[in-house]
């Protein structure tokens, strides 16, 4: 899904004459909305110690 959304954005932004499937745009909107809601939900439940643990794992 991310690849399709990225490709559609590039086509719309840089190539005005390149057609983009309307279904891809609608799916991207829905995916982005769901992703945002899930992210906000996770952030509201995560603790400071979990955040620090994740940061440490990423940095190593």
**Global pTM?**
0.61
3-state secondary structure of 45: helix
Query: For 23-50, what is each residue's pLDDT tens digit?
Result: 988 999 999 999 999 999 999 999 999 9
Domain count, the chain: 1
Which DSSP string do the residues of 6-35 spell out, in sequence order?
HHHHHHHHH-TTS---HHHHHHHHHHHHHH
Q: By residue range, what is the domain housing residue 41?
A: 2-59
C-alpha Rg value of the chain to the nearest Å: 17
The percentage of residues in the chain with a pLDDT greater than 90, rounded to a whole number, is 63
């Amino acid at each position: 899904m991310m690849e399709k959304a990225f490709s559609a954005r590039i086509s719309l932004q840089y190539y005005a004459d390149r057609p983009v499937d309307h279904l891809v745009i609608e799916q991207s909107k829905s995916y982005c909305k769901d992703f945002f809601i899930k992210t906000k939900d996770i952030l509201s439940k995560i603790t400071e110690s979990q955040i620090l643990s994740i940061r440490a794992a990423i940095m190593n």
